[in-house]
Amino acid sequence: MGKAEPPEGEKAANEDAARIGELRERLNHHSYLYYVLDNPEIPDSEYDRLYHELQQLERLHPDLVTPDSPTQRVGETPLKAFEQVRHRMPMLSLDNVFSEDELAAFLKRITERLGIDMDLAFNAEPKLDGLAVSLVYENSVLTQAATRGDGSTGEDVTQNVRTIHSVPLRLSGSNIPALLEVRGEVFMPKAGFDELNRRALDRGEKTFVNPRNAAAGSLRQLDPKVTATRPLAFYAYATGFVEQGVLPETQHQILSALAQWGLPVCPEVKLINGIEGCIAYYHNLQQQRNQLPYDIDGVVYKVNEISFQKKLGYVARAPRWAVAHKFPAQEEITYIANVDFQVGRTGAITPVARLEPVFVGGVTVSNATLHNMDEIERKDIRIGDKVFIRRAGDVIPEVVRVVPGSRAKGVKKIRLPRKCPVCGSDIERIEGEAIARCTGGLICRAQRTEAIKHYASRKAVDIDGLGDKLVEQLVEAGLVKSVVDLYRLSTEQIASLERMGRKSAKNLIAAIDDSRKPTLARLIYALGIREVGEATARSLALAFGNLQALIEADEDALLEIQDIGPIVARHIMNFFAEAHNQQVINELLREIEIQLPSASKSNQPLTGKTFVITGALTNMTREQATELLQSAGAKVSGSVSAKTDYLLAGEKAGSKLAKAEKLGVEIIDESKLKALLGS
């Protein structure tokens, strides 16, 4: 007789149990690919679907829920306090060296103690600026996580560490010891830290000072649900207590084994030899420091051979076989002696602190950026304050914060000047904007080069052959001080510039002459008024008909125009109100002849219609098509949506065509466009 089939209910339960196991395995695999290898195989939506299915099955079978299930990363109950954990093996600190001489002395000590005369192999790794933790895996399942504490006793942060997605809840692979203690660093990547502070500012909350403080504060939350919202990560760098298992015989091989078992290991880890290898690694990582996605404050060298490590042993609270080679300090304390205001190439006004000189980040610093007035007010910085200064590599030094409790009598508030320190034009600061700007865009020496480049660009008056490098040469030579001077250049002046022959000079003069009859829309755009792009410039040209009417327009008149709000209206009014700009415009009008728009508000057949252009057109460029459509009152968008009225499609139209077809947007060619335009 054959074996009896199990009852339907039992069969279904067995199938669910098998499916639960399969889902956990798949989810753990995809978490590893996503959080550790940064190489996902499935989209987030598919991961969410699998996760939801597992949640549903575990609700049906609560007896099958295990601590290593992906659904158990976040605990439900906040702790009242952290329990104390005694480490089975002490979590020691590292001795530090700060120079190549100190490093050489360290290497000499260990080779003499080992009784060898050879270059030792070292496992080198970045010294992460985070929080050291110990993870205990029993039969491959994470059962405990603890902070370093005083080295002997730490705090039980198991619930919080479980929320870190790069920490596996279950190890995978072969030859894993029955009990394995993994040591590593919990840290907050720079991008996550910036986003965390941005969200805090949006909510009006206090921000974190640096990623290390953010990581430490996040890991010590009593409510794991709070920790789960923080962008924490983990890298393993060593092992501690091990039972019923054997680890490889070198530090580098141990890290390889941890990576094979699913634990994240820093990708910058490298096997090196001797003092030359150590120094080369140090300088290479120091150069990369600001490009790394996480903060580091030095490098760590560990003797690679475990047998050598055991022979060298420990002294006090540190191993003899490892050392941290620290980078120069990036933060120091000094005083703000004064504050100046600098003008950037786009007119942005930046407050700069003049400091009592201080040695930080390997150089003497006497100036530091204060970013903008909002930052000054948020940090409550004043002239005479004692402050922390930070310098990170080639990044401009910045004033981080005032030293708490250090403010003396007589400090002065920092106030934004009313006039540009370079050209004397009014300074504009729109309510709600952090950055203040000089309004003298056409005359300000600090903005001169960018203003001329913009004026000559293809979408502005389009001076063919006047590239960025040539503009810079003309400005440096003192031949062009404003856009008007372009029309006063001679062939001889241009030919005198480096790499400019007489023929090239003649061609440029011809191109400048060709630009003397710009359309009103192109000229308005060329003036470089803040937030006035091509479409807005065309709307202004059509609405006012001539430049003088636009110059005299008040806020009410500007707000009547579609897509112009109070901020853009204020930019336009401030630009034309500045006397220096008026002077340049008056001189410019003696050199050029503006082509006024033929279309008026009453002669715009496509007003209110939205077009998207895709593919290669046959009889016109896409820029020409855009200009025609805008002249007819249409809005030209860069992406297809449900609000798109027409898609103008040329040859080799791609994804925009497919999306338009899906949304039912009317698709037209150039002949249909001419019909719509009435010509």
> What's residue 327's pLDDT?
85
Q: What is the CATH number of the domain that holds 274?
A: 3.30.470.30
Q: What is the CATH number of the domain that holds 12?
A: 1.10.287.610
Helix pair 100-114, 274-288: axis angle to 10 deg: 140
Instruction: With respect to residue 86, please indicate whether it lies within any of the assigned structural domains.
Output: no
> What's residue 392's pLDDT?
62
Q: What is the 3-state secondary structure (H, E, C) of 532-569?
A: CCHHHHHHHHHHHCCHHHHHCCCHHHHHCCCCCCHHHH
Q: Would you say how long the chain is, in residues? A: 679
Q: Say how far apart CA 66 and CA 56 lie, in whole Å.
A: 15
Among the options 80, 108, 127, 409, which is catalytic?
A: 127
Instruction: With respect to residue 598, please indicate whether it lies within any of the assigned structural domains.
Output: no
Q: Say how far apart CA 22 and CA 27 lie, in whole Å.
A: 9
171 with 67, same domain?
A: no
> What's residue 22's pLDDT?
87
Q: Say how far apart CA 11 and CA 466 lie, in whole Å.
A: 79
367 with 315, same domain?
A: no
584 with 621, same domain?
A: no
Check the CA dihedral 201-203-207-213 and report its sign.
negative
The residue among 527, 520, 508, 513 whose CA lies nearest residue 549 is 520
Q: Of 588, 612, 628, which residue is a domain's last? A: 588
Instruction: With respect to residue 435, please indicate whether it lies within any of the assigned structural domains.
Output: no
361 with 457, same domain?
A: no
232 with 258, same domain?
A: yes
387 with 504, same domain?
A: no
CA dihedral 667, 671, 677, 679 (to 10 degrees): -170
Q: Of 306, 326, 346, which residue is a domain's last? A: 326
67 with 203, same domain?
A: no
Q: What is the CATH number of the domain that holds 369?
A: 2.40.50.140
Q: What is the CATH number of the domain that holds 511?
A: 1.10.150.20
> What's residue 82's pLDDT?
83
Instruction: With respect to residue 80, please indicate whether it lies within any of the assigned structural domains.
Output: no
181 with 151, same domain?
A: yes
Q: Tell if the pTM clears 0.85, that is, is over it.
A: no
673 with 619, same domain?
A: yes
> What's residue 214's pLDDT?
86
Give the list of residues 6+ apart from residue 662 with CB closer than 8 angstroms, or none: none
Q: Provide the number of structural domains found in the chain.
A: 5
Q: Say how far apart CA 401 and CA 503 lie, in whole Å.
A: 58
For the chain, the helix, strand and coil percentages under 3-state DSSP, each to the nearest 5: 40, 20, 40
Range of the domain at 364: 331-413
> What's residue 435's pLDDT?
87
286 with 338, same domain?
A: no
Instruction: With respect to residue 431, please indicate whether it lies within any of the assigned structural domains.
Output: no
**Token pair belonging to 432:** 């709600």
259 with 342, same domain?
A: no
Instruction: With respect to residue 200, please indicate whether it lies within any of the assigned structural domains.
Output: yes
202 with 242, same domain?
A: yes
Q: Say how far apart CA 503 and CA 514 lie, in whole Å.
A: 17
Which SS3 state, helix, strand or coil, does residue 353 take? Answer: strand
**Token pair belonging to 23:** 């889902």
Q: Of 326, 355, 387, which residue is a domain's last? A: 326
Q: Say how far apart CA 413 and CA 418 lie, in whole Å.
A: 15
> What's residue 276's pLDDT?
94
Instruction: With respect to residue 82, please indicate whether it lies within any of the assigned structural domains.
Output: no
For the chain of 679 residues, list the mean pLDDT of each consecutive stretch of 10.
60 80 83 66 73 81 81 65 88 87 93 90 93 94 90 89 91 93 94 90 80 86 87 94 94 96 95 94 91 91 95 86 86 92 88 91 84 90 92 74 89 94 90 85 88 92 92 91 94 90 93 94 92 87 89 90 84 91 93 78 72 88 81 79 90 86 91 82
Give the list of residues 6+ apart from residue 437 with CB closer than 8 angstroms, or none: 346, 347, 348, 349, 427, 428, 429, 530
Instruction: With respect to residue 424, please indicate whether it lies within any of the assigned structural domains.
Output: no
Q: Is 127 annotated in the active site?
A: yes
